[in-house]
Amino acid sequence: MDPAQSVAANPILTLIGLTAVIALLLVLIARWKWHVFLALLVPIILFGIIPGVQQNNFIRAFEAGFGKTLGQIGVVIVLGSIIAEAMKHTGAIQVITRSMVSLVGESRMPLALTLAGFVLGIAIFSDVAYVILNPLVHSAARVMGVGIAGMATGLVGALQLTHAVVPPTPGPLAAAALVGADIGKCILFGSLACLTGSLAGWAWGRFVVGPRIGTPPADEFAGEAAGKSGNPVRLPGRWSSFAPIAVPLLLISGQSILRLLADKSTLESGGLAIRYAEYLGWPVAALSIGVWLAFRNIRDVKEKKAALTVWVEDGLRISAMIIVVTGLGGSLSEILKGTPAVQYVADVVARSGMPAVVLPFVIGIIGNLITGSTTVGVITAGSLTAPMLGALQLSPEAAMLSGASGSVIIKYVNSSYFWVCTSLTGLKPSDAIYCFGGVTLVGGVASFLTVYAMWATGLI
């Protein structure tokens, strides 16, 4: 650490300060119900007045961390939110769900809904996607003669997993920026981890929850069909529905695969094709293409006008909180890099014998369990782990995916997503904790074990 850039030199005071920041953050959110922006800003400001802190360096670190982080992901988060708005309004969600039903058959509707959740959670906020699919969940449960718990549980878990782990959903995208992870690798390996976790969640719902909780589906949704919407004639085609998600993911992942396969000299002296492949794999360019593809699904003139104003404004409004909170996370990370507390924590982990990849997983669990927010969990894990990566000898991708896997464990009564799913399914809270708390625990652990295996074998 350059003494001229050091924020603080006393390891004991800075370690106490770091512990106090985390404790105050969690108390402000969980007990006093502060908005996460203020709950994160106030402890950071208070950290700056700890004895021994060099305020000039503190301010420089705060500004550098905030600006660097937003420069990497600010525009990308907005673009992802606009794609989600377009998919919600154009009926692409229903078409994707119908495609999953066609893939596995109507007799396997819980699995079809789980796979639909796996895809949709990448682009759509999990609570929004569940609200849209809820009528189909009830209708399918009635047709198949099963309880609503067995039908909904796999979907609830899968939506939350990819929402938490796979960019370009805002939470994992923010965490990837905080730790400096390659977004394409996070998409590739995160999707693999989430597929494992989603299937584990489906098994929890199918073989554990379903036989034990027999709550019937609601009568009001009788007759709802897969893919039904308010204007089913105007639904986009299958390719058009998948394209806003699939094309950006392929472009970003393709850039990462190119970097893995090609040597450095080839990339540096690459021709036009390589330069364009890298440019189109830049998340801003890739997601801009995704927005264009999503807007191509608009069939109505009035909708086109709304898309260019209302949908964009809604996307900006949804993005704003995540962007500023992520910026503050970047500031905290940069400040901690200038203190000896980071090395101290890394040394403790090393002496304990605990695998380094477990640390962000545990931080993600703590952040989510106390605050009820997946986004807070994954950003907290990224912020606190980023300064330690070198000392822990942990890759950015492993740290990000580990923390994200922990951030879904578990959804219970302090989570807004839990209450959305509980109220719409009609389950008693005690049953919902067993179903939805259980599926997020099983899915998060299964995803983490997959991440652990990839880390242990050197893939990430």
Only one residue has tokens 């509707």, namely 109
pLDDT of residue 154: 95
DSSP letter string, 163-191: HHHSTTSHHHHHHHHHHT--HHHHHHHHH
Angle at 175 between CA 169 and CA 181, to 5 degrees: 105
Give tens-digit pLDDT for 372-385: 778 878 888 888 88
List the chain domain ranges.
3-456
Q: Which of 51, 109, 110 is nearest to 435 (CA)?
A: 110
Q: Which of 408, 411, 409, 362 is nearest to 385 (CA)?
A: 362
The answer, yes or no, to whether residue 231 has pLDDT greater than 50, is no
Listed ranges 223-227, 343-347, 425-429; the one with the highest mean pLDDT: 425-429
The answer, yes or no, to whether residue 67 has pLDDT greater than 50, is yes
Measured CA to CA, the distance from residue 356 to residue 227 in angstroms comes to 44
Listed ranges 77-91, 193-207, 305-319, 410-424; the one with the highest mean pLDDT: 193-207
The answer, yes or no, to whether residue 220 has pLDDT greater than 80, is no
3-state secondary structure of 323: helix
Give tens-digit pLDDT for 167-184: 888 889 889 988 999 999
Q: Which of 381, 388, 384 is nearest to 364 (CA)?
A: 381
The answer, yes or no, to whether residue 155 has pLDDT greater than 90, is yes
In this structure, what token pair is assigned to residue 395? Answer: 């890759």
Average pLDDT over residues 307-315: 81
Average pLDDT over residues 120-144: 84
pLDDT of residue 444: 96
pLDDT of residue 166: 92
Model confidence at 342, pLDDT cuts 50, 70, 90, reads: low
The answer, yes or no, to whether residue 59 has pLDDT greater than 90, is yes
Lowest mean pLDDT among 12-26, 233-247, 387-401: 12-26
DSSP letter string, 15-79: HHHHHHHHHHHHHHHHTS---HHHHHHHHHHHHTTSTT--HHHHHHHHHHHHHHHHHHHHHHHHH
pLDDT of residue 446: 97
pLDDT of residue 392: 84
Model confidence at 350, pLDDT cuts 50, 70, 90, reads: low
3-state secondary structure of 378: helix
Lowest mean pLDDT among 124-133, 207-216, 227-236: 227-236
The answer, yes or no, to whether residue 289 has pLDDT greater than 90, is yes
Burial letters 45-73, b for 16+ CB under 10 A, else e:
eebbebeebbeebbebbbebbbebbbebb
Give tens-digit pLDDT for 250-260: 888 888 777 76
Q: Is 179 exposed, middle or buried (0-12, 13-18, 19+ CB in 10 A)?
A: buried
Measured CA to CA, the distance from residue 345 to residue 427 in angstroms comes to 43
Measured CA to CA, the distance from residue 96 to residue 99 in angstroms comes to 5
Measured CA to CA, the distance from residue 281 to residue 301 in angstroms comes to 32
Listed ranges 16-25, 199-208, 251-260; the one with the highest mean pLDDT: 199-208
- 125 vs 350 pLDDT, higher one: 125
Q: Report the percent of the chain where pLDDT is more than 90.
A: 28
Give tens-digit pLDDT for 140-149: 888 888 899 9
pLDDT of residue 2: 55
In this structure, what token pair is assigned to residue 212? Answer: 């034990």
Model confidence at 264, pLDDT cuts 50, 70, 90, reads: low
pTM of the model: 0.80
407, 440 Cβ separation under 8 angstroms: no
Q: Measured between alpha carbons, how far is residue 415 from residues 34, 419, 420 in Å?
A: 15, 7, 9
